[in-house]
Amino acid sequence: MTDVPLSPPWPVEPSIRVLLLPKDTNEHGTIFGGVILSHLDLAAAVEAGRHTEHRFVTVALREVKFEQPVHVGDTVSFYTRLEGKGQTSLTIGIRVEARRRGPSAESVLVTTAEAVFVTVGADGKPVAWDSPLPVS
Ligand SMILES: CC(C)(COP(=O)(O)OP(=O)(O)OC[C@H]1O[C@@H](n2cnc3c(N)ncnc32)[C@H](O)[C@@H]1OP(=O)(O)O)[C@@H](O)C(=O)NCCC(=O)NCCS
């Protein structure tokens, strides 16, 4: 991969924001890590879609370390930014913050991670993310 390192600041607005519900919890009442991973992949895909017209697939999710638990009723924001471009890959950084419910409305950092997407053609094989779309 010929990644060009990029380090834009985190945006003010998240790509997605969700309210987590009892259906998302484990038996201890905290949110399943897999629920956060699913939203994380989705938020990163929103960002990737801003940079290419091709369809793309997730090839890797990197370095997901959960720093703080997420509770029912937290509002969780997924901030995203483009962090690298290869020939067929786009690397997206994701910062996840939970805002606790209640008057304190404290915000905590849940995790930061990277998602790598590969742009693919109709045959599912990698194509350059900035190549023209085929004329149909
Ligand atoms: C993604 C996929 C098309 C890549 O096919 P491939 O033939 O292995 O592709 P290549 O080896 O040519 O690599 C393509 C790009 O992916 C990058 N890549 C491959 N494995 C990677 C990894 N583990 N981490 C980061 N980037 C990776 C390569 O560096 C390359 O990037 P570049 O062109 O910008 O340099 C193929 O592996 C695939 O279809 N995987 C399943 C994707 C999917 O379904 N995801 C959802 C799972 S539910």
CB 93 within 8 A of CB 32: no
Q: How far is the CA of 102 from the centre of ligand 1 (A)?
A: 43
Strands 89-99 and 75-85: antiparallel
Average the pLDDT over each of 6-15, 30-39, 103-112, 115-124 and give the range with the smallest value.
Answer: 6-15
User: Any idea where the domains of the chain sit in the sequence?
Assistant: 16-120
Nearest-angstrom CA–CA distance, 97 and 110: 5
Which is more confident, 132 or 6? 132
Q: Which of 42, 92, 118, 127 to mutate to test the pocket of ligand 1 (most atoms within 8 A of CB)?
A: 118
3-class state of residue 6 by DSSP: coil
pLDDT of residue 63: 87
Nearest atom within ligand 1 for CA of residue 125: 3
Residues with CB under 6 A from ligand 1: 1-2, 57-60, 86-89, 116, 118, 120, 124, 126
pLDDT in tens, 76-135: 999 999 999 999 999 999 999 999 988 888 999 999 999 999 999 999 999 999 998 887
Question: What superfamily in CATH does domain 16-120 come from?
Answer: Hotdog Thioesterase (3.10.129.10)
Nearest-angstrom CA–CA distance, 98 and 65: 15
Q: How confident is the model at residue 3 (pLDDT cuts 50, 70, 90)?
A: low
**Sequence-distant (≥ 6) Cβ neighbours of residue 22 within 8 angstroms:** 72
Strands 55-62 and 89-99: unpaired
Q: What residue's CA is closest to ligand 1, atom 23?
A: 60
